[in-house]
């Protein structure tokens, strides 16, 4: 796909007519580019000292690119469902490695209210990681979500492809992409 940047693929993801196969292909390329940028920022030598923390289910769409580039990195799993009535995160599953690496990379394509990302960051801090050792990588954020997460971890540790201006009354990103997990997994 040449010298394209991750943001060059956003119009395809935003297009409601994009089918599952094309959405996956474009998402996988964005994940690869995000991973390369993240490793460049963190330093290749630190790849084995980072724990990958995809948020189930949409975070699984980005995980293969990161796991491939960092094959020794342990993977923790955090399952959080969004309560559609309250837009609050509802934790239903966690699994962390027995020995925590010194850094963590939260992987979640969407950062709307930042409730989920803040919950995961808080959990990691309770496990002993300092806030500056926690990083977030995603595809799209709302301005509100970005500001909220930057109140928990350093703003320089947050990397997204684009920031959209607002949330609608249901707390979805506008203009957004839609439900990333549903679109990626075809459900």
Label the pairing between strands 50-56 and 103-107. Answer: parallel
Q: Is 107 helix (H, G, I), strand (E, B) or coil?
A: strand
Spell out the residues 6+ positions from residue 41 whose beta carbon is closer than 8 angstroms to its own.
159
Among 18, 38, 82, 116, which one carries the catalytic annotation? 82
Catalytic residue list contains 179? yes
- How far CA 74 is from CA of 104, 151, 186, in Å, comes to 10, 26, 27
Catalytic residue list contains 83? no
Among 86, 90, 156, 170, which one carries the catalytic annotation? 86
Catalytic residue list contains 132? no
Among 8, 15, 28, 179, which one carries the catalytic annotation? 179
Catalytic residue list contains 182? yes
Angle at 86 (CA atoms; ends 110, 186), nearest 5 degrees = 40
Give the DSSP letter of residue 9: G
Instruction: Take residue 155 and report the two structure tokens written for it.
Output: 């703003």
Active site residues: 82, 86, 179, 182
């Amino acid at each position: 796909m040449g010298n394209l940047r991750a943001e060059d693929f956003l119009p395809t993801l935003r297009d409601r007519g994009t089918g599952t196969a094309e959405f996956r292909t474009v998402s996988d390329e964005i994940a690869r580019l995000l991973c390369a940028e993240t490793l460049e920022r963190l330093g290749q030598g630190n790849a084995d000292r980072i724990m990958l923390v995809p948020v189930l289910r949409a975070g699984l769409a980005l995980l293969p690119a990161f796991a491939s580039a960092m094959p020794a990195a342990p993977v923790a799993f955090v399952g959080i469902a969004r309560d559609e009535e309250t837009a609050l995160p509802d934790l239903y599953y966690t699994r962390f490695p027995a020995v925590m690496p010194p850094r963590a990379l939260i992987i979640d394509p969407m950062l709307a209210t930042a409730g989920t990302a803040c919950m995961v960051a808080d959990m990691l801090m309770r496990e002993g990681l300092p806030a500056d050792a926690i990083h977030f990588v995603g595809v799209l954020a709302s301005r509100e979500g970005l500001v909220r997460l930057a109140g928990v971890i350093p703003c320089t540790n947050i990397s997204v492809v684009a920031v959209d201006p607002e949330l609608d009354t249901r707390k979805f990103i506008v203009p957004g992409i839609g439900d990333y997990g549903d679109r990626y997994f075809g459900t």
